[in-house]
Structures are given as structure tokens and as C-alpha cells.
Amino acid sequence: MIRGGPQGIRGTRGVSIPVHHRWKGAQCVRCQAVRVVDAPMANRFPPVPHGRRAVWCDFLNLISMIADIIPVTRARADAAIVDLDGTMVDTLGDFAEALRRMLGDLSLPGIPAAEIERMVGKGTEHLLRSVLDHVLQPMEPQRRAAAVEAHYPQAWEAYGRHYLAINGSHSRVYEGVAEGLQALRAAGLRLACVTNKPGAFAVPLLRAKGLDGFFDHVFGGDAFERKKPDPLPLLKACEALGTAPARTLAIGDSVNDARAARAAGCPVVLVTYGYNHGQPARQVDADAHVDSLQALCAG
């Protein structure tokens, strides 16, 4: 179990995820957890003889006051939406190899993996434009922007071909992922994978890594009109899962996941080990940060 707060989102069995509630009256605007402050505590107890009643009331008032300070109600999560690159699979090696081959085809210079890492997370179009912009650096900005667009169609075609050829062979599943997903499923949560990676890359990758069986739905970055950080993919995933966003936990590695989750109204947990455009994930606003998906398991 993750520690970090007295309150949390609790699955039907054994999964407890800390959430820092934002109370509006007695209800959390993020996850709809309810504070017990207004609970008619006295009604829960059998009638007591007159005379002893005052003692009971004092006692119950005290409990009620404590409950006000420490919200004790745990909301329930019905489902989780899990990001792919940087959250479940370390795919930096695949990106680097496909880009190395693509840049070779275009007779352009290479790019270090550390630079690529900063560019991952906003989908293939963004990645390719960022890489082309980087390798064409010697050009002055206006000519460079035009050169990026001129190279883009050939880059897209070559990259897609190479990525599919090497998909999964330079990547690995992060430690604790299978255990974390297993625990979420065992707790009765439905799971969807929502990634900015194209569906044609995401589906075979999940299969190759033995993760496909955990998911009821997989949505690639080309599944909807807009990608994360837009909330649309998360809202569509909630629709497919049949769950309310406030009861659907988003799990990701970057600011794109966190912003999409906030805008969709999903509670969000970020892993600390993925790709976040060169910035520590702990600096990103989220309900919790974990070092492993296994930390989502009850202890």
C-alpha cells in the first residue's frame, strides 16, 4: 500500500491509492469522496437510556470533530487508464533505433538518445518534427522550419516502416508493471491503455511484452481527434469503460498525462521513472507519485 495520506481511492479489494482531496463542502471535487463530517453519527448507534445519552452525544461529537480533521471515507475506483511509453515500457531504445535508421535514409545526422527522451510523449508527429528541427540546427530558424516540413513526409514514411520492423526489440517492461496491473485487475478495476503512440505500434508492442491481456481497451494517439494533454482520449476511454472520470484513475509518466487527467476530472498518479520532457515527474501536479506500479498493490 502507498502511504501518503489518510484518505485514498480504494478498489473493490485491496488497492489503495492516496488522493489529496479538494473539498467543496462535504464532497471532493476531484473524486467525489464524501467527508463524514455531516454524517448523522448518532443514528448509527442504538438508542441509549436517557441520562447516558448526553455522554454518548459528547462522545459522538468528538468523533465527528476528529472525522472533520481526518476525512475517513475512501472512494472507490472502478477503472484505471494506463499510459504506455515511460509508464509500462521503456521504449527509448526503440525510438532511438527507428530514428537512427530514418535519419540514415534521409542522409541527415544522428541525434543522441538523451535528446530524444525529451521529445517523447506528445505523439509521433511532434517527435518527428522535433527531431528534424534538432538535426537541421545549423540552419537559421525560418529556413529550418521550411526544411522540417519539406523532409516530413519522407521522414514519416521511413520512421513508420523502421519502427514496425524493430518494435519492442530495443525496449523492456519496467519492474513492477505486471504485478501492479495484476493487482488492479484483482481489485476488480477495468483497465484501458491510452497512449499517444499510434495504435499500429501500441497494440503489437503490448502483445510482444505480454501486457495486452490486462486491457479491455487500447487507444492509440490516432484513435481520436486530439491527443493528451487534451482530455478527449481519457474521456473517450471512460466512455468505453463505462466509468465516471472521477472514479477512473489515470496512471502516467508525464505532464501530458497529468494535464489530460486534470482536465478530464480523473484522479492521477505519476510514475517517477519515465519521460517527462527532461523535467522530474515529481514537479508535476498529481494526486500521488510512485516509484513503481507495484506500489499500487496493497501491502
Ligand X SMILES: O=C(O)COP(=O)(O)O
Which residues are part of the catalytic machinery? 83
Q: How far apart are CA 269 and CA 19, in angstroms?
A: 9
d(CA 23, CA 31): 10
- Nearer CB in complex with ligand X: 93/188: 93
CA distance 243 to 138: 50
Nearest distance in Å: CB 93, ligand X:
14
Stretch that binds Mg ion, among 25-33, 111-119, 198-206, 251-259 (CB under 5 A): 251-259
- Residue selected from 10, 30, 185, 197 as contacting ligand X according to rule CB under 6 A: 197
User: Residue 167 CB, nearest distance to ligand X (Å)?
Assistant: 12
Q: Which of 17, 31, 37, 84 binds ligand X (CB under 6 A)?
A: 84
97 lies in the site for ligand X, by CB under 6 A: no
Among 81, 92, 108, 120, the residue binding ligand X under the rule CB under 6 A is 120
**Residue 171 within binding range of ligand X, rule CB under 6 A:** no
* Alpha-carbon span 38 to 21, nearest angstrom: 17
86 binds Mg ion (CB under 5 A): yes
Smallest separation (angstroms) from ligand X to the CB of 71 = 32
User: Where in the chain does DSSP place strands (E)?
Assistant: 8-10, 16-18, 23-24, 27-28, 79-82, 89-90, 172-173, 190-194, 217-219, 248-252, 268-271, 288-290
Residue 268: which of 81, 133, 102, 135 has the closest Cα? 81
C-beta of 136 vs 286, nearer to Mg ion: 286
- How far, CA to CA in Å, does 227 sit from each of 124, 167, 177? 11, 21, 23
Of 50-58, 81-89, 211-219, 239-247, the segment contacting ligand X by CB under 6 A is: 81-89
The footprint of Mg ion (CB under 5 A) covers 83, 85-86, 253
List contacts with ligand X (CB under 6 A): 83-86, 120-124, 195-197, 228
